[in-house]
Structure formats: C-alpha cells, structure tokens
Amino acid sequence: MKIDKPQSWPETVEEARAIQEELREQVIVEDDLPQVRYVAGVDAGYQEQDNVTQAAVAVLSFPDLQLCDQAIARCPTHFPYIPGFLSFREVPAVLEALEQLSIVPDLLLCDGQGLAHPRRFGIACHLGVLTNLPAIGVAKSRFIGTHEGLPPERGSWQPLLDQGETVGAVLRSRSHVNPLYISIGHRISLPTALDYVLRCTPKYRLPETTRISDRLASS
C-alpha cells in the first residue's frame, strides 16, 4: 500500500496542535465509502521502556471477518505521551505497517478516538486523512463528552455530546458489558460507522479487527 507520508513529524506540542487544527479541515463526515470487502484494525504498543512503538495492522475479509493480511512495524518513539496528542506517538509506526500490506483495506477501525477529541482530530481522523481511507474511531473508554444512560441490550446507543455538539456515540456492542465509544474518523457518517462496528463485533465486546491487531501489536 502506497502512502504519501509527512516528510517530518512535530517535536513540540505547539507544532502538533497546529497540525491537528490544519488537517481537521480535511475530515469528511459523510459517507464516501467504496464497496467494503476488507476491513482493517490498527493498534500500537510500546517496547523497550516505551522507546520503541510497535504497530500492527490486521486486514479481515468482510463480512465474514477472516484474516487475509497482516503487518507489524517497529519505530523509535519520538513524541512523549500527552493526552490529546496520542496520534503523534503511534501514527508513524502505523503508517509503516500499512505500507507493508499487499491488500489495501476499504475501511480502518482504529483503537482510539476520531472526532471525540478536544480538537476534533483523534488518531482515526489523523490516519484517515493521511491515508485517504474511510476510518472509524473505536475507543474502549471515554475521552471527552457526556451521554444519557444506555440500555443493556446489544446494539443500543446514545449520542456522545461535547459543548452541544455530537462528537460520537456510546455503543453497547454486547449485552450487559461496558460500551464502546465510536466516532467518525474520515469519509463515513456516524450511523454508518455504528453499523460497521456492530457487523465487525459478532461475539465479543471488541471488533474482531481490534482483537487481532491488539494481539499482534503486543506480541
């Protein structure tokens, strides 16, 4: 997979914030998807006392969710851990892993936030814009926003609101378990994102894309 990667990465929070504010204008929040035949999960972990980022991508066929392609990349960790700027730690290694793929995914499911971010530019938006692939943020925990109570049944959801704006949704992917926090990354609407997340989550709390890429990233 060919990616037009940035020539350099920011070294300060001020530089990173400026990039987020510039690139967020490119985020498309409407459906602009091809026929989805392959979905990919992306995740990252850290090794050698956090000095190395190991990113993994797992490509699954859709809708039967069989593993078709995978890649792992290891890169030096250049950016410190600062809430709201996680993508600058993880995206460089994720892009390296994506470049190794022989199958180009039609949709990315990212382990993290999309629009549900203080500057509306989480890792799912960042990856979506840089790769020009449709992307969804699928987070295990809430970063920002509030929501109403959620019924216990699988498929129930509530809007996630921040300063009066719908930035995502709280989705029950499995009955009577903790919900997921879904938000637009790029080239997809929120209702369509919720539909694909549920279709990628047939049995467990997390999508199969996330479960497999997480296992690869921590191996």
Cα distance between residue 202 and residue 219, in whole Å: 24
37-47 pLDDT tens trace: 999 999 998 88
Cα distance between residue 113 and residue 121, in whole Å: 8
Q: Is 140 helix (H, G, I), strand (E, B) or coil?
A: coil
Structure tokens given for 207: 């999508």
85-113 pLDDT tens trace: 999 999 999 999 999 999 999 999 999 99
The per-residue pLDDT for 143 is: 96
Structure tokens given for 37: 């035949």
> Is the previous residue joined to 152 through a cis bond, with omega within 30 degrees of 0?
no
- The residues near 144 (Cβ < 8 Å, ≥ 6 apart) are 116, 117, 118, 162, 167
Provide the mean pLDDT of the chain.
Answer: 95
What average pLDDT score do residues 127-151 get?
97
Query: Percentage of the chain surpassing pLDDT 90?
Result: 90
The per-residue pLDDT for 215 is: 87
* CA distance to 31, 68, 125, 190, per residue, from 185 (Å): 11, 23, 4, 9
pTM metric for this prediction? 0.95
The per-residue pLDDT for 217 is: 80
The per-residue pLDDT for 49 is: 83
The per-residue pLDDT for 87 is: 95
The per-residue pLDDT for 54 is: 94
